[in-house]
Amino acid sequence: MILSLTEENYLKSIFHLSDNGQTAVNTNHIANQLNTRASSVTDMLKKLADKSLINYQPYQGVTLTAEGRKKAISIVRRHRLWEVFLVDKLHFGWDEVHDIAEQLEHVQSDALTDRLADFLGNPVADPHGDLIPDKNGEFEQTKFIPVDQMSTGHTGIISGVSEHSVSFLQYLQKHDLVLGKHIALLETTGFDGSVTLLINQSKELTISKEAAKNILVL
């Protein structure tokens, strides 16, 4: 079944808001994420339910069906593959690629997606450390730890971010907190939760708890 661009965006939104399809998602959350109104969401939920892509009981929120989840994952796969392309091949910055990938993700061609993945070397993560599902929709199993949950003295490799705003990405870039960097947690301030890091065994930097929470290490 072929989906409209709008239907694809709703499915992707539900997928992300439900933490990969586990929990039920509210109408208002979807409206908020898609910058639309609750009434518009209700209308679309009915359509998606008619197509058996979501489980929808009025007033009870929605979950994805197996079919809906499959569709959502394939959109996520396309989005992240294109982000890799934009950064690795076209040399865009990691803060510049999301909006373009939002458009590219809607190009519907399995042959294109698969060849693109091959061309990029079948990457398992995008430029922000987000995992790229494989052709069968499977994510590699990993356990990222947010920096604010690291213990003093422990070390890790920056492997992802859980906040994707342009301003946050530019902030990280400026302080050299990019994917692949080695960090050691020197100290956590009890007062405000800010943490002091040693980056690549050389540079010290103190960041807020808020920032630490959104940097993921392995």
| Element containing residue 190 per DSSP (H, E) | none
Query: Of DNA, a copy of itself, Mn ion, none, which one does residue 176 interact with (CB within 5 to 8 Å by kind)?
Result: none
Interface residue with a copy of itself, options 23, 103, 152, 155 (CB under 8 A): 103
Does the protein bind DNA through residue 165 (CB under 7 A)? Answer: no
Does the protein bind DNA through residue 207 (CB under 7 A)? Answer: no
Interface residue with a copy of itself, options 109, 155, 189, 206 (CB under 8 A): 109
Rounded-to-integer distance, Cα 74 and Cα 66, Å: 12
Rounded-to-integer distance, Cα 147 and Cα 69, Å: 30
136 residue type, one letter? N
Rounded-to-integer distance, Cα 159 and Cα 151, Å: 17
Min CB(46)–DNA separation in Å? 7
Rounded-to-integer distance, Cα 74 and Cα 71, Å: 5
Does the protein bind a copy of itself through residue 197 (CB under 8 A)? Answer: no
C-beta closer to DNA: residue 37 or 89: 37
C-beta closer to a copy of itself: residue 69 or 77: 77
Cβ(132)–Cβ(80) below 8 Å: yes
Left if phi > 0, otherwise alpha if psi is -120 to 50, otherwise beta: which for 155? beta
Residue 72, SS3 per DSSP: helix
Interface residue with DNA, options 16, 20, 33, 38 (CB under 7 A): 38
Interface residue with DNA, options 20, 40, 108, 170 (CB under 7 A): 40
C-beta closer to DNA: residue 28 or 142: 28
Interface residue with a copy of itself, options 37, 46, 115, 154 (CB under 8 A): 115
Query: Of Mn ion, DNA, a copy of itself, none, which one does residue 45 interact with (CB within 5 to 8 Å by kind)?
Result: DNA
Cβ(76)–Cβ(17) below 8 Å: no
Q: Rounded to whole angstroms, what are the CA distances from 28 to 22, 37, 49, 62?
A: 18, 8, 17, 11
Which residue carries 């060849």 as its tokens? 115
Rounded-to-integer distance, Cα 205 and Cα 140, Å: 31
Interface residue with DNA, options 1, 19, 22, 59 (CB under 7 A): 59
List contacts with a copy of itself (CB under 8 A).
Answer: 86, 89-92, 96, 99-100, 103-104, 106-109, 111-112, 115-116, 118-119
Name the site residues for DNA (rule: CB under 7 A): 4-7, 26-29, 34-47, 56, 58-61
